[in-house]
Amino acid sequence: MKRAVVALTGLLICAVSHAAAAADSALPDWSGWWTNAPPVTEEWLRQLPPLSDRARASWENRFVVNGDLDPMRYCRPLSFTGYSGGFEGALEFLFTPGRVTMTSEDGRIRRIYTDGRAIPANQDASANGTSVGHWEGQALIVVTTHLDPENAYPNSNQGTLQIGRGARITERITLRDAETLVFDIETIAPAVLSGPDRRTRIYKRMQKSMAQELSFCARNDRSVDADGRQRFDMTPPADLPPPPRKP
């Protein structure tokens, strides 16, 4: 009897493993790095978000009053407000059983649970929020909630507006062709938007590209001080070659 139970358990484990492997093998090929095209600015030019009057006034006023927009943004934790790569970062996907992990070259990590779990009602807010997803054929549907209300909107590493409470972002991600990944994004953010903002973002696969870390930290920036004030540091690098002989 004991042997039979062990054998049956083994068979069950094998069956589950095979099922998981089969499910994984059915997943689309999203390997490599993906960069957005066209630039997000172009996208926004074509389709501005339905900002509430208050948000629009705040944004415009901030731009007029403070030319530096938000001096404290440097080295702030990266956060998600609808653009997984920020405004210019490339993306990468990692598939593991029951989860998709999305990273960007600037170090953002989004953990998307695809094992059927629900988001706990008492989940804490966080910079990248909490994401659950499911596959509809070859399309990944992702719902993200519990975003930190102080997340900068629309750009995650630049201070403009704050996304506020109650934000919910739904993404449908699918291949248009082997080299083109399409994000259909719906953003509901009652604090800044008068209605849902729906837009499509296109990413292109970067052929043979290796990841290169991208850091926005002010520590290395000749253009700002560590406290965020602007400068333009013209101290030559220590290893600057000497000038050519006098002409």
Residues contributing to the site for other proteins (CB under 8 A): 35, 39-41, 44-45, 48, 56, 59-60, 63-64, 67-69, 74, 87-90, 105, 155, 158, 160, 206, 212-218, 220-224, 230, 232, 234, 236-237, 239-241, 243-244, 246-247
108 and 84 in contact (C-beta within 8 Å)? yes
Q: Which is nearer to other proteins, 112 or 218 (CB)?
A: 218
Q: Which is nearer to other proteins, 142 or 193 (CB)?
A: 193
**Which amino acid makes up residue 24?**
D
Q: Shortest gap between Cβ of 119 and other proteins (angstroms)?
A: 30
Q: Which is nearer to other proteins, 123 or 230 (CB)?
A: 230
Q: Shortest gap between Cβ of 231 and other proteins (angstroms)?
A: 8
Q: Which is nearer to other proteins, 36 or 174 (CB)?
A: 36
Q: Shortest gap between Cβ of 196 and other proteins (angstroms)?
A: 18
141 and 131 in contact (C-beta within 8 Å)? no
Q: Shortest gap between Cβ of 243 and other proteins (angstroms)?
A: 4
Q: Which is nearer to other proteins, 140 or 185 (CB)?
A: 185
93 by DSSP, 3-state: which? strand
Q: Shortest gap between Cβ of 227 and other proteins (angstroms)?
A: 12
173 by DSSP, 3-state: which? strand
43 and 185 in contact (C-beta within 8 Å)? no
Task: Provide the CB-side half-sphere exposure for 98 (13 A, CA).
Answer: 6
171 and 142 in contact (C-beta within 8 Å)? yes
- Residue indicated by tokens 């484990």: 13
171 and 139 in contact (C-beta within 8 Å)? no
126 and 147 in contact (C-beta within 8 Å)? yes
**Beta-carbon count within 10 A of 60 CB:** 11
Region of 59 please: left (phi>0), alpha (psi -120 to 50) or beta: alpha
Q: Which is nearer to other proteins, 29 or 225 (CB)?
A: 225
Q: Shortest gap between Cβ of 216 and other proteins (angstroms)?
A: 5
Q: Which is nearer to other proteins, 28 or 107 (CB)?
A: 107
Q: Shortest gap between Cβ of 93 and other proteins (angstroms)?
A: 18
What residues are paired with 181 via a beta bridge? 175, 203
